[in-house]
Amino acid sequence: VGLSMGKTPDAFAMTEVTSGTFCKYIIGTVLVGAVPLALAATAMVIINVLRTIGKALPKVWRIVCSVLSVWASPLLYVMHAQPVATATTAAAAAAGPAVFTMNRGGAGRTSPQQIVEDAIWCGKGYEVFNLCNVDTDTRGISLAANDSSHYWTNDSGAMRHSSGDAADATHDIERMPKVKVRVASGTLHPVASRSKSLQVMKTRQSGYNETAELSGLLYTPALRSNGRPIRLFASIYAFYHDGIQTEFNGTNVMTLPNGHKVQMTVDPLECKARVAARPAKNVHHAASVNTTDAVFDDDSINHARLVHFGNNRTGLWKHDPTTCKHCMLGGHRHAPYHKKQPRERAKEYTFFGQRVSSDIVGPFTPSVTHGFKWAIVFYDWYSGHVSIGYLKAKESQAIKASLQQYQVDNQAHLKDGRVWEWHTDGDGGFTSKETEEMCLELNTRHSFSVAGESNTNPGAERIIGVLLRPMRILGSSAVGDAEPYWPFMANQAAQAHNSLPSRRFNPPATPNSKLGIVESKATLLKRFRVMFTRAYVRLPDVRRPTKLSPVAFEAITLGWDPVREAHFVLVPELGRITTVRSISFDEREFPVLPMLRHVAISHAAERLLPAPPNVFQQRTPLTQATGPSANTQGSTGLYVNNSGAITRGDGSTVTSPPAAAPAAAPPPATTATANGMRLSAVASLLYSTAAMPGWLFRSSPGAPWELCNATTAGGAIPLPKDAHDALTGPYAKQWREAMESDMTKKMGNEAWELVDSNEPKSAGTRVHGGKWAFAVKYNDDGSVKEFRARWVMKGFTMVYGEDFDDTYITGMNCSTSNCLFAKAASLKLTIYETDVRAAFTTAKIDRPLYMQCPTGFEPKGGGKVCKLYKSVEGGKSSGNLYYKEHGTVVKDKIGCAQCTADPNLYRKEWDDGEWIDVGIFVDNALLLPSSEAAKDRFLVEYRKYYTITGDKPVANFTGCDVTRDPITGAYTLNQTVKIEQYFNKYLGKNSKLRAAPVDTSADGVKKFMSIKAAANEAEKNFMAGKDYMGLVGCLLFLTNRTRVDCAFHVAFLAQYMSNPSPDAWYALLDVLSYMYKTRHIGITFGGEPRVPETQSDPPLNVQQFIADNGLHVYSDASWNPSHAGHVVMYGNGPVAHSSRKIKVSAQSSTEAEICAGVAATKDIKFIRQILTFLKMTPNGPTPLLIDNEGMWFNVRNSGVTARTRHFESWQHFVRDAYENLVLTVHLIDTHSMIADILTKAMPKVIDYYKKFRDIIMDVVY
């Protein structure tokens, strides 16, 4: 039977078919001795009968065994006196019959007395097991005695696993069982315990990495020889009870239950097979724990804590890396291909930052919560210090910001506060023009190596390899997918590298020590813990449901956080990554690592600081966080769970969005950390119910982890791409409400009706597509004001002549709005602002149009499209239709008069003397009423046709912040916020600020005025990729509105937009730098008019001047180069100004001045018409102040001279205005010509620039 089952005779002989020992030996004797099969069959029948009796009557069975043992003893003696031939060796024969120690095939000789003794102990309730190949007092155990104490001898003759080391009993321990074991000498030994043992077995290829559970392990203290424990692996018992198969016959392989194979080694003298294994300590069986990867001792733990760096780096702890599974999997090194050649001695560097090498590594799997795919490393050649930045894409702006932030973070260590040489390869964004320009700004030499060639950037390439090895090892140690957490692994690897000694220095030293940072062994052990292991943390900000609820949460360690001197942990239950100090570690367990798409990042004790500029993560920089104290009692954080639902820390589901944005809180001070850098604190999400889920990102190397969050991060909420993205993201509830609000408004306006999808075909027209457009509006403090969603038409599908005709739409001119502010300041009245909600959807369309149904709001069953009755956003003609219809409503239905000079200016007067001026800018309106009652009367009529919001004193209009002095009534307009945005976009807060738009030295002014277009290919290549035109557009928006003082400089540089030179680019950045330094300066209207001094006859009519609220004009021009400028002053402020290049070749300074006067006269006529419509009619001609006698003479006197006979008709425009009493001409001193700053760059030798600027912009100090 046994042979038919494929078992060897000796294996069958050792099979437990009964609970006694006698029958096993009988069967073995019959089969091995070649007794006829009939006798074997008879014996089997007898055994089965006796087994049945034994089960029913255990005590009777033991007595029968004792009696039959006397009959069987002769056969047993004969059998065991003759060893099996296949297992006999010369050494075994020489050892004598009493000490046979065969690897397989039975036990040593057993006497009848021993069998009777076994039967007697069985009668007493004991179990007796034979360990046939082991003796404690003979040389039969020489293999175990001479080798490591962690080797197990594989013995098919042993009936149970046995060990003389108590440490092998790992779990389920039964103390003092009724069990005895007999060794080869015949001695019986008591068993101290019976247990299970989890053994991690060693292979030659990968170290300790194969794990097996051994059941029924017998711990026998007597199993020792020469002071070392003896371990026996019972192969037959393991086959039936542990699922472990053992193959000898030359293969010598053990097959574990999981199919993995463990190679055994065989001693040729003793003919014993052995396997190396160690007990896994403190292993708790749980489904979520990787019990196959236990850590064994303190050295192994310390090795794993220091991210598996080798002994040459750790130094403090000697550890054999071949015994670490993860080192072999993630960091296995190949054999060298050739002998290591001596390297040339590297150049000696003497200070930090003398040479820094960088390279980009990736792409990686997009990281959890923030989606980083690339890393950029910075390696300092002097100290060996490494910093890492994280990027979403390999863009030049990201690289530029990374180097800038690296310098900021290491400012304390850098000589002269800069990187002296930055070495990169010649690939990717490293060679962009933006990067080169940035290096010039930072005074950093940029050197290159050959792109795509190995070992040409050795510093950065080698450090990448140094960091990738521990990252791979950390990833292999995690249970689950660890790749999305790669930034945490990189962070830990970089910190360990900076804290461990390097053989690069003699004597070995750590990179941190080269920077003056001393770290002890205790510090390292406290900071570094085994990543991805289990931890228990207390989160005081999370309220417990009951008094008996657990006080701690299970967490997974993610490394050391140098910002707060704490530990990064992931709390799967809450879907939250945080930093904690109250933490307990279990570094032997590896829980399953979850993959959370959206994770809340928070720290209960800190608040959000203004984040550094992060041009590659989010173009709009973060603003200061808002919110009450994070320690407020009862505060509850909000998190995103695994299903995407937003829940509170106590587990309750959020049913409504935060009610309101919290108040602003002052930022805490930065903290000094062990890496020697000044790092800001991380954000806190725990702002009562105002907390929202967020995501972690790092703006640049060395920068702290920052938080993006719906209620605190101004401009940092990523906008969804489509409806699906919006409704499945972390702000699904807010976007859903915004979409429903838009649908409600459109349905309220009766924008469309649903019709059959076949109707457009029958009408001979098409169905236009649509999409959802999303936006987030923010308060002034950066907190979230509103989520907005609009269903818009895809206007690009519309065809001219079929779907639309006109697209033109205009807004109120800036000069018109300035006149309104000047009038309000003069009369000390208040200006109000209103807004028409969903303005474009209020205009009726002029032809049939069809559009698809809004995504997410389709009718059941489908087959419907929207037939439009009102225009919608995105349509080509939507703005034009609204503009026309709105003008008709205001003029014809409300009864306002329309200004002919500016059609967006209206005025209504009532019979009782009340009046209101209305300026329209698309869907916004400025209201200047004679009283609040007049405003209310107008709005009553206005609201009959539109939904009006606002109705408050104006605070912001067309990008200008508006403030009013409550005492004098003066209005001030500035663009501080816009200037800050442009500065952060193009320069950054670490740039040098300038006190003037140009270098005010004589050489500096000359250099600026000599700027030309790009002259050669080198300059053109340098400017490739520079956003010169974009920056010019930004600055023109500022100068045309409030920054009159920079109008000339921007206009002068704007002429090179088609072919800019590097000099023009740097000059443009200087202007922006000056604007940022003086960003709080604006234009002011109000106060008593300042009367200028004139030098010509007739003198200025002061009485008329004051009655006209100081309306006058300064006009000036420079001849070479020819540039004209003028400014129209009204109410002590500039209501209009211009700085432009003269488009004719002026033959004299007089001709240049006349050209400038023509432009000024145009503005004079326009402003006079606007003021007349506003009932602020000038009482006489407007003074035109000039400083050129030739122009003064030619304007006042008709006739032709040698210098004017070539004039064209437009050049006589000023004379015509003079003769028609539109203006008068007055000479003033050149040193009083404030328009001079609009015609040239002015040197500081005579500092008139600041004086003229202050007069024009009414700057008060």
1157, 1186 contact by CB (below 8 A) = yes
Q: Provide the pLDDT for residue 785.
A: 83
- pLDDT band of residue 813 (cuts 50, 70, 90) is very high
- pLDDT band of residue 695 (cuts 50, 70, 90) is very low
- Please state, in angstroms and as integers, the Cα–Cα distance from residue 225 to each residue in 150, 197, 221, 275, 413, following that order: 14, 22, 11, 18, 61
1071, 997 contact by CB (below 8 A) = yes
Per the rule left: phi > 0, alpha: psi between -120 and 50, beta: everything else, 176 is: left
The DSSP bridge pattern shows strands 705-709 and 1112-1118 to be: unpaired
Q: Provide the pLDDT for residue 614.
A: 31
Residue range 1083-1110: mean pLDDT, rounded? 89
Q: Provide the pLDDT for residue 139.
A: 37
User: How far apart are alpha carbons 559 and 705 in whole angstroms?
Assistant: 13
719, 776 contact by CB (below 8 A) = yes
CATH number for region 1087-1257: 3.30.420.10
**All residues at 6 or more sequence positions from 1253 whose CB lies less than 8 Å from its CB, including other chains:** 1044, 1045, 1237, 1259
The DSSP bridge pattern shows strands 850-851 and 767-768 to be: parallel
**All residues at 6 or more sequence positions from 801 whose CB lies less than 8 Å from its CB, including other chains:** none
Q: Provide the pLDDT for residue 57.
A: 58
User: How far apart are alpha carbons 392 and 615 in whole angstroms?
Assistant: 11
User: How far apart are alpha carbons 319 and 280 in whole angstroms?
Assistant: 17
Q: Provide the pLDDT for residue 67.
A: 56
- The owner of tokens 């640049």 is 700
Q: Residue 1223: enclosing H or E segment and its boundaries?
A: strand 1223-1227
The DSSP bridge pattern shows strands 151-155 and 231-234 to be: parallel
Q: Residue 1156: enclosing H or E segment and its boundaries?
A: helix 1149-1173
User: How far apart are alpha carbons 859 and 850 in whole angstroms?
Assistant: 16
Three-class SS of 986-1023: HCCCCCCCCCCCCCCCHHHHHHHHCCCCCCCHHHHHHH
pLDDT at 415 over 80: yes
Q: What percent of the chain has pLDDT over 70?
A: 73
- pLDDT band of residue 573 (cuts 50, 70, 90) is confident
User: How far apart are alpha carbons 590 and 356 in whole angstroms?
Assistant: 38
Which one is predicted more confidently, 227 or 741?
Answer: 741
Of 364, 369, 365, the C-alpha closest to 707 is 369
Q: Provide the pLDDT for residue 321.
A: 61
Which one is predicted more confidently, 286 or 53?
Answer: 53
State the span(s) of the chain assigned CATH 3.30.420.10: 282-331+348-528, 1087-1257
Q: Provide the pLDDT for residue 485.
A: 87
- The owner of tokens 């009204």 is 1130
Q: Provide the pLDDT for residue 1177.
A: 93
Which one is predicted more confidently, 552 or 990?
Answer: 552
Name the 3-class secondary structure at 1049: helix
DSSP-assigned beta bridge partners for residue 555: 535
User: How far apart are alpha carbons 559 and 568 in whole angstroms?
Assistant: 5
User: How far apart are alpha carbons 660 and 169 in whole angstroms?
Assistant: 61
Q: Residue 740: enclosing H or E segment and its boundaries?
A: helix 732-748
Residue range 446-460: mean pLDDT, rounded? 71
User: How far apart are alpha carbons 1116 and 1139 in whole angstroms?
Assistant: 10
Residue type, 803: D
Q: Provide the pLDDT for residue 3.
A: 34
**pLDDT per residue over 198-249, tens digit each?**
888 876 555 566 778 888 888 888 887 766 788 888 888 888 888 888 887 6
Most confident of 361-365, 538-542, 1104-1108: 1104-1108
Q: Provide the pLDDT for residue 158.
A: 82
**pLDDT per residue over 134-184, tens digit each?**
655 433 333 333 344 478 888 777 888 888 888 788 777 787 788 888 887
Q: Residue 140: enclosing H or E segment and its boundaries?
A: none
CB atoms within 10 A of CB 1213: 18
Rg of the chain taking only CA atoms, in angstroms: 45
Residue range 1009-1029: mean pLDDT, rounded? 90
User: How far apart are alpha carbons 1152 and 772 in whole angstroms?
Assistant: 54
Q: Which fold has domain 282-331+348-528?
A: Nucleotidyltransferase; domain 5 (3.30.420)
Q: Provide the pLDDT for residue 1084.
A: 93
195, 171 contact by CB (below 8 A) = yes
**All residues at 6 or more sequence positions from 252 whose CB lies less than 8 Å from its CB, including other chains:** 263, 264, 265, 266, 273
pLDDT at 1073 over 70: yes
Q: Provide the pLDDT for residue 37.
A: 62
Residue range 828-837: mean pLDDT, rounded? 92
**All residues at 6 or more sequence positions from 110 whose CB lies less than 8 Å from its CB, including other chains:** 76, 77, 80, 130, 186
Per the rule left: phi > 0, alpha: psi between -120 and 50, beta: everything else, 184 is: alpha
Q: Provide the pLDDT for residue 271.
A: 66
User: Considering only 15-24, 267-276, 1103-1112, which range has the smallest mean pLDDT?
Assistant: 15-24
Of 360, 357, 399, 396, the C-alpha closest to 378 is 357
Q: Is residue 234 packed enough to be buried (19+ CB in 10 Å), middle (13-18) or exposed (0-12)?
A: buried
User: Considering only 843-847, 948-952, 1207-1211, which range has the smallest mean pLDDT?
Assistant: 1207-1211
User: Considering only 384-393, 399-408, 1080-1089, 1104-1113, which range has the smallest mean pLDDT?
Assistant: 399-408
Q: Provide the pLDDT for residue 433.
A: 76
Residue range 943-960: mean pLDDT, rounded? 89
User: Considering only 59-63, 158-162, 338-342, 1175-1179, which range has the smallest mean pLDDT?
Assistant: 338-342
**pLDDT per residue over 745-757, tens digit each?**
888 888 899 999 8
**pLDDT per residue over 1133-1162, tens digit each?**
999 999 998 888 888 888 888 899 999 999
pLDDT at 79 over 90: no
881, 801 contact by CB (below 8 A) = no
The pTM of the whole model exceeds 0.75? no
User: How far apart are alpha carbons 641 and 14 in whole angstroms?
Assistant: 56
Which one is predicted more confidently, 111 or 624?
Answer: 111
Which one is predicted more confidently, 1047 or 413?
Answer: 1047
- The owner of tokens 């921007």 is 1050
- Please state, in angstroms and as integers, the Cα–Cα distance from residue 1168 to each residue in 816, 1083, 1161, following that order: 11, 20, 10
Q: Residue 59: enclosing H or E segment and its boundaries?
A: helix 58-81
Q: Provide the pLDDT for residue 254.
A: 86
* Strands, sheet with 245-247, edge to edge from the N-terminal-most edge strand: 245-247, 253-255, 261-263
pLDDT at 615 over 50: no
Which one is predicted more confidently, 386 or 326?
Answer: 386
Q: Provide the pLDDT for residue 1261.
A: 47
Of 862, 872, 878, the C-alpha closest to 773 is 872
User: Considering only 20-34, 163-177, 203-217, 1176-1190, which range has the smallest mean pLDDT?
Assistant: 20-34
pLDDT at 1250 over 90: no
Q: Provide the pLDDT for residue 63.
A: 61
1137, 1141, 1147, 1152: CA torsion to nearest 10: 10
SS3 content of the chain, % helix, strand, coil (to 5): 35, 20, 45
Residue range 927-936: mean pLDDT, rounded? 93
pLDDT at 1046 over 90: yes
User: How far apart are alpha carbons 519 and 503 in whole angstroms?
Assistant: 17
Name the 3-class secondary structure at 201: strand
- pLDDT band of residue 625 (cuts 50, 70, 90) is very low
pLDDT at 1172 over 90: yes
- pLDDT band of residue 318 (cuts 50, 70, 90) is low
Of 555, 604, 600, the C-alpha closest to 577 is 600
pLDDT at 623 over 50: no
Most confident of 350-354, 793-797, 820-824, 1198-1202: 820-824
Residue range 961-983: mean pLDDT, rounded? 91
User: How far apart are alpha carbons 1137 and 1134 in whole angstroms?
Assistant: 7
Residue range 610-638: mean pLDDT, rounded? 31
Q: Provide the pLDDT for residue 463.
A: 85
- pLDDT band of residue 1112 (cuts 50, 70, 90) is very high
pLDDT at 967 over 80: yes
User: How far apart are alpha carbons 713 and 694 in whole angstroms?
Assistant: 9
User: How far apart are alpha carbons 152 and 197 in whole angstroms?
Assistant: 13
Q: Provide the pLDDT for residue 655.
A: 35
User: How far apart are alpha carbons 1184 and 1171 in whole angstroms?
Assistant: 17
User: How far apart are alpha carbons 307 and 497 in whole angstroms?
Assistant: 9
User: How far apart are alpha carbons 118 and 9 in whole angstroms?
Assistant: 24
785, 779 contact by CB (below 8 A) = yes
pLDDT at 1082 over 80: yes
**pLDDT per residue over 333-354, tens digit each?**
555 544 444 444 456 788 888 8
User: How far apart are alpha carbons 1182 and 1217 in whole angstroms?
Assistant: 10
Q: Is residue 417 packed enough to be buried (19+ CB in 10 Å), middle (13-18) or exposed (0-12)?
A: middle
Q: Provide the pLDDT for residue 667.
A: 35
707, 694 contact by CB (below 8 A) = yes
834, 838, 841, 844: CA torsion to nearest 10: -20
Q: Provide the pLDDT for residue 60.
A: 62
Q: Provide the pLDDT for residue 764.
A: 85
pLDDT at 279 over 90: no
Three-class SS of 877-945: CHHHHHHHHHHHHHHHHCCCEECCCCCCEEEEECCCCCEEEEEEECCEEEEEECCHHHHHHHHHHHCCC
